């Protein structure tokens, strides 16, 4: 974790603008092509839900702005984020919340998540993580076009929320509506565009080479996105973050 020096922080003016608002939150939902992920998990005997959690979390890790948190005016940047997601045991109507590090391997995370969920006997297990969390939920019984979560109205709450519903088949592709709830103090539409590019690149990598599930960004010219290895630039579904702050 690193403290951000607000006296030299390029976002300071924007932060103060949204800091004055009692409700700086916004939500948006957009379609994601998860055909490659669905094919991969079916072929490797993995559950789709934690695999999607893993991919979304890794894409957020790729974008620096998603790793920032507001601690009542103190801005920190985390090195890694930690997923905290709802789950249901077979035959139960009551969800519980599972929290564990993602690690560096999707299949390993799916196995650990399944085991932790199975063993958990309480609503929320004790853990030592603070605001490096990302909250996930899923409503797999129907598609969603919008979703908001309950929260205490704390304007400094900068933990992202991610959710999705049931996928839909469209012209031979599997499309999933992904909903994000974010805090405008730290995240603009431009950063969501960076996240979309990172997520689509990761999913495209699965489609390009099903034998390498850890394929990630390489030399993608997306400002603010970590440059990593394996995926080449021409595998990006969107070549760069949108030039317009209105996602245009």
Which is higher by pLDDT, 226 or 102?
A: 102
Question: Which pLDDT score, from 0 to 100, does residue 126 have?
Answer: 82
User: pTM of the entire structure?
Assistant: 0.86
Q: What SS3 class is residue 118? A: helix
As a whole number of angstroms, the distance between CA 112 and CA 65 comes to 28
What is the mean predicted confidence (pLDDT) over 9-19?
98
Question: Which pLDDT score, from 0 to 100, does residue 125 have?
Answer: 87
| Mode of pairing for the β-strands spanning 25-33 and 173-183 | antiparallel
Q: Confidence band (pLDDT; 50, 70, 90) for 45?
A: very high
Question: Which pLDDT score, from 0 to 100, does residue 225 have?
Answer: 64
- What are the percentages of helix, strand and coil residues in the chain, rounded to 5? 30, 25, 45
Beta-sheet strands, E only, within the chain: 2-3, 25-33, 68-71, 74-77, 82-88, 95-99, 133-138, 161-164, 168-170, 173-183, 216-217, 230-231
What is the mean predicted confidence (pLDDT) over 85-95?
94
Q: Confidence band (pLDDT; 50, 70, 90) for 237?
A: very low
Is 55 exposed, middle or buried, given 0-12, 13-18 or 19+ CB atoms closer than 10 A? buried
Percent of the chain beyond pLDDT 90? 79
Question: Which pLDDT score, from 0 to 100, does residue 210 have?
Answer: 62
* Residue 202 reports pLDDT greater than 90: yes
123-181 pLDDT, tens digit per residue, is 998 888 999 999 999 999 999 999 998 888 899 999 999 999 999 999 999 999 999 99
Per the document, the length of the chain is: 248
Question: Which pLDDT score, from 0 to 100, does residue 213 have?
Answer: 42
- Give Cβ neighbours of residue 102 (< 8 Å, ≥ 6 apart): 53, 54, 57, 58, 80, 81, 82, 83, 109
Question: Which pLDDT score, from 0 to 100, does residue 192 have?
Answer: 98
63-84 pLDDT, tens digit per residue, is 999 999 999 999 999 999 999 9
Question: Which pLDDT score, from 0 to 100, does residue 226 have?
Answer: 64
208-221 pLDDT, tens digit per residue, is 756 444 444 443 44
Average pLDDT across the chain, whole number: 87
As a whole number of angstroms, the distance between CA 175 and CA 73 comes to 39
Question: Which pLDDT score, from 0 to 100, does residue 151 have?
Answer: 85
What is the mean predicted confidence (pLDDT) over 42-64?
97
Contact 225, 217 (CB under 8 A): yes
């Amino acid at each position: 974790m690193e403290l951000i020096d607000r006296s030299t922080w390029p976002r300071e003016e924007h932060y103060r603008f949204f800091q004055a608002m009692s409700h700086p939150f916004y939500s948006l939902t957009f379609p994601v092509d998860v055909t490659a992920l669905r094919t991969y998990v079916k072929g490797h005997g993995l559950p789709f839900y934690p695999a999607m959690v893993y991919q979304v979390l890794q894409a957020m890790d790729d974008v620096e702005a998603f790793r920032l948190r507001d601690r009542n005016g103190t801005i920190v940047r985390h090195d890694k984020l930690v997923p905290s997601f709802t789950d249901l045991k077979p035959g139960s109507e009551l969800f519980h919340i599972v929290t564990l590090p993602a690690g560096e391997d999707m299949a390993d995370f799916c196995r650990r998540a399944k085991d932790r969920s199975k063993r958990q006997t309480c609503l929320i297990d004790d853990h030592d993580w603070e605001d490096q969390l990302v909250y996930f939920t899923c409503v797999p019984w129907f598609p969603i076009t919008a979703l908001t979560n309950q929260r205490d109205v704390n304007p400094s709450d900068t933990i992202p929320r991610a959710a999705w519903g049931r996928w839909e088949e469209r012209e031979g592709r599997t499309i999933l509506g992904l909903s994000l709830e974010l805090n405008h103090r730290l995240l603009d539409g431009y950063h969501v565009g960076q996240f979309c590019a990172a997520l689509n690149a990761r999913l495209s990598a699965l489609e390009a080479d099903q034998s390498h599930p850890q394929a990630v960004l390489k030399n993608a010219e997306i400002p603010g996105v970590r440059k990593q290895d394996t995926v080449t630039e021409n595998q990006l579904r969107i070549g760069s973050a949108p030039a317009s702050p209105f996602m245009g």
